[in-house]
Amino acid sequence: MTTPGGDESGLPARQGDEDGERPVVRTGMFGVHGTPDTSGYGQLQVHRQPLLVSEPPYGGYFDAVAQALGAALTADGSGFAEAVERVVVDRGELTFYVRREHLLVVADKLLHDPALRFEIFSGVSGVHYLDEPGRELRAVYHLLSITHNRRLRLEVSAPDADPHIPSVTPVYPAANWHERETWDFFGIVFDGHPALTRIEMPDDWRGHPQRKDYPLGGIAVEYRGTKVPPPDERRAYS
C-alpha cells in the first residue's frame, strides 16, 4: 500500500518545519506586557521548540494503528497522507495531526474499523499558540481502545481568523459537553454541534478566558468584602 507523498507503508513522508529549526522565544503571557506584575507573567519567557515530526517505524503498537488507519482511509477513497499532516511520537505517546476537513472521516474509521476500535472518547482540550500564524487554535482529542488496549491523541488546528473545526458529536456523542467547554474557554467553533453554548462562564461573558491574548488583570476583584486590585496595579517583587 502506497499513498501519495508517502512510503511503501502508506505513511506520509517527513515534512519540513514551517517555523524553521530554531526555537521561538516569547516574552510575557496572558496579555501582560511591560510590567513586572506579581504573577510574574509580564516577564515570563517561553521557549517553544521547532515542530516535531516522527518517521516510521514508531515502535510498539503505534505502527499497527498508523497502518490500520492508512488502510481504512485508502479503502474509503482518501489517503493517510491527505488526512494526517504529521505524526509525532513523544514521551511514549502517539499523536496524529489531522487536517480539520478530514476529522470526521478519521474519527469514524478510528471508532468503527475492527483493527482500530477506539470506542472511548476521553475528552477534547483547547490550546492557543499566539506565535503560530494560521494554526493558532488547537483541539486535542484523547481516545482509548478497550478492544485493543491502546491510546491515541488527535490534534486539529484552525486559524484564529477562521476558528472552525467540525464537531465529532455525530461519531462520539460524549464530545458534546467537552466541545462546549473548549468553545467557552478558547473560542473554537465546532460546526455541527447540537447546542454550542457556554458551559462554565456566564452567558453574557465577553471573550474566551483561556486564550493567551485574554487580558490578565485590569479588573478589581472583591472577595468576602476585601477588594483585591488587578495584577498590573499590585506591588512588584524582585
Q: What is the domain-level CATH number for residue 137?
A: 3.30.460.80
- The domain in which residue 104 lies consists of 29-41+48-233
Is residue 183 within 8 Å of 190, Cβ to Cβ? Answer: yes
Instruction: Kindly tell me if the per-residue pLDDT of 2 is higher than 90.
Output: no
Answer yes or no: is 170 within a domain: yes
The tens digit of pLDDT for each residue in 17-52 reads 444 455 667 666 655 666 655 555 666 676 666 678
- State how far the Cα of 86 lies from the Cα of 66, in Å rounded to an integer: 11
Answer yes or no: is 7 within a domain: no
Answer yes or no: is 135 within a domain: yes
Q: Which of 49-63, 191-205, 212-226 shows the highest mean pLDDT?
A: 191-205
Instruction: Kindly tell me if the per-residue pLDDT of 191 is higher than 60.
Output: yes
C-alpha cell at 35: 510590567
Answer yes or no: is 2 within a domain: no
**Number of structural domains in the chain:** 1
Answer yes or no: is 8 within a domain: no
The pLDDT of residue 94 is: 97
Nearest CA to 80 out of 167, 14, 150, 6 is that of 6
The pLDDT of residue 30 is: 59
The interaxial angle of helices 62-75 and 103-112, nearest 10 deg, is: 110
